Chains A and B, each alone.
Chain A
Amino acid sequence: DKHPKWVEILDAKTKDKLCFLDKVEPNATIGEIKSMFHKSHPQWYPARQSIRLDPKGKSLKDEDVLQHLPVGTTATFYFRDLGAQISWVTVFLTEYTGPLVIYLMFYFRVPFIYASKYDFTTSKHWVVHLACMCHSFHYVKRLLETLFVHRFSHGTMPLRNIFKNCTYYWGFAAWMAYYINHPLYTPPIYGEQQIRLALIIFLFCQIGNFSIHIALRNLRPPGSKTRKIPYPTKNPFTWIFLLVSCPNYTYELGSWLGFTLMTQCLPVAFFTLVGFVQMTVWAKGKHRSYLKEFRDYPPLRSPILPFIL
């Protein structure tokens, strides 16, 4: 059917007619229709539009083509406002820069945190310096990955997420940093052995996590939205793909376990636990969607912990 179509857009809740477009090309994409809708309603930029065939149905994708959808000569779509949106990159950069800066403020014992006689002093324990280097390295790595490695499949997320996420990251960073850099900090019980083991675990998992991010990036050529099953590559750190669907989360957990061991600090343990719970939820979701999408998905894999979870 090569004839131009009419497109009407109704509000999903009130069913009011919001927009009527005539002479829309049958090969137009939803993305293009969103741009046209944006012209008549400038407050709703495309990123905050959810367009669907059914008021309670799933959102259509920007790449969907009009003539491939089950519509007649007049296509009726339902619109839902997703609310103010913010780009993933912006959120990640903000939520990761906070911990980096905040931890350093505690490390350098900026005034008004500890008793004034400690202002701008440094800890006498070398593990505290090591911990600062590890923590800072971790967040610098995350920032660089956000800028140069990650390929985001969604452009934006709801604006309120940035407040929620920053409270989480910044709050925990301050809580951990307060105790690690405290003048009354107690170094690990087993001393050098404990710290050395912790550092090895931490570095191993940092490299592992980075390897997974690179492997995932290489799965998808730039601009393409095809989804593929990740497999182990020549890099030994990716061989964990044999057993786990989301090894980036596995390595992340490992890094924080290492940091907990290194600092022997209960707030760090708590942060690791909370992060683990959240990552497990994400890993299970990702694993489920892999299983749904790919018939031949390797059965040996678990979401986050080999054989366990």
Chain B
Amino acid sequence: MASSEEDGTVEEKENNNKKRTKSALVTAWLTFYNIAMTAGWLVLAITMMRFYIQRGTHKGLYRSIARTLKFFQTFALVEVGHCAIGIVKTSVIVNGVQVCSRIFMVWFVTNSIRQIQNEESVILFLVVWTVMEISRYSYYTFSLLHHLPYFIKWARYNFFIVLYPLGVAGELLTIYAALPFVRRSGMYSMRLPNKYNVSFDYYYCLIIVMLSYIPLFPQLYLHMLRQRRRVLHGEVIVEKDE
């Protein structure tokens, strides 16, 4: 659900044969950005593997990669900027929602609710995110360099079929595990009476977030399936129009 798949890529822009006069500077920046993000998530992947091989357990793994994860996942906000100024052909809202949901998970769930950091579900979504991001960013990098190996394209448009639902499962299980701790501590919550005349219960907020996966996940998943058919098999899908 929180995996950042987009509905338009830099490579698809070129496939359409539109002569986009993208300045060399923009291309250089995007290439640098995507290489850096690929590298970042590779570092995360390697650190996670080393931890598990050396310690034989996943306990404490989150703590060891927490800072790197927060840095690279938060840096992805830059992509929303790319969409906003138009150098990447994706809707700001689509990209924004995806990045925000990742940031929500990282900063407002795993970072702030320490008791769930050693849950297996955390490892599950971390592994999913890592594989997806490495394949996604390397796909963009190679497209920008005009040298896209087929297996990277294959990976990007096939891994999600299994990884998406696994990632959703990891995220939902993590939020569910966090609920009793949120309830007990009353964190991020505000009760009446107060001078702003508002109340907020983070516990119910999390429940609403979990429920929102029900309408949102199938839409994203089907969208990716349509993209996959188009990119891998050249099928023209007539979208339902407004």
Contact = CB atoms under 8 A, between A and B. Distances in A.
Contacts of A266: 196-198
Nearest to A188: B195
Interface string A168-190: 00000000000110101110010
B162 interface: no
A184 B193 CA distance: 5
Interface in B178-211: 192-199
Interface in A20-44: none
B193 A267 contact: no
B195 to A, nearest CB: 5
- Chain B contact residues: helix, strand, loop or mixed: loop
Contacts of A180: 197
A179 B194 contact: no
- Chain A contact residues: helix, strand, loop or mixed: loop
Nearest to A83: B242
Contacts of A182: 192, 197
B195 A179 contact: no
Interface string B230-242: 0000000000010
B89 to A, nearest CB: 20
Interface string A58-73: 0000000000000000
Nearest to A269: B196
A186 B198 contact: no
A8 to B, nearest CB: 23
A263 interface: yes
A184 B199 CA distance: 11
Contacts of B198: 179, 265-267
Nearest to A263: B197
A186 B199 contact: no
Contacts, number: 30
Interface in A258-293: 263-267
A264 B195 contact: yes
Interface string A90-112: 00000000000000000000000
A13 B240 CA distance: 11
Interface in A141-188: 179-180, 182, 184-186
A171 to B, nearest CB: 13
A267 B194 CA distance: 13
Interface string B35-73: 000000000000000000000000000000000000000
Contacts of B194: 186
A118 to B, nearest CB: 13
Which one of B194, B196, B198, B199 has the highest number of Cβ atoms from chain A below 10 Å of its Cβ?
Answer: B198
Interface string B153-189: 0000000000000000000000000000000000000
A267 B198 CA distance: 7
B209 to A, nearest CB: 18
B196 A265 contact: yes
A53 B199 CA distance: 55
Contacts of A179: 192, 197-199
Contacts of B197: 179-180, 182, 185-186, 263-267
Nearest to B200: A266
B193 A189 contact: no
A278 to B, nearest CB: 15
Nearest to A178: B199
Given A189-B195, A263-B197, 14 more contacts: A13-B241, A179-B197, A179-B199, A182-B192, A185-B192, A185-B193, A186-B195, A186-B197, A264-B195, A264-B196, A265-B197, A266-B196, A267-B197, A267-B198
Interface of A: 13, 179-180, 182, 184-186, 189, 263-267
Closest 4 CB pairs of A and B: A266-B198, A184-B193, A184-B192, A265-B197
26 contacts: A13-B241, A179-B197, A179-B198, A179-B199, A180-B197, A182-B192, A182-B197, A184-B192, A185-B192, A185-B193, A185-B197, A186-B193, A186-B194, A186-B195, A186-B197, A189-B195, A263-B197, A264-B195, A264-B196, A264-B197, A265-B196, A265-B197, A266-B196, A266-B197, A267-B197, A267-B198
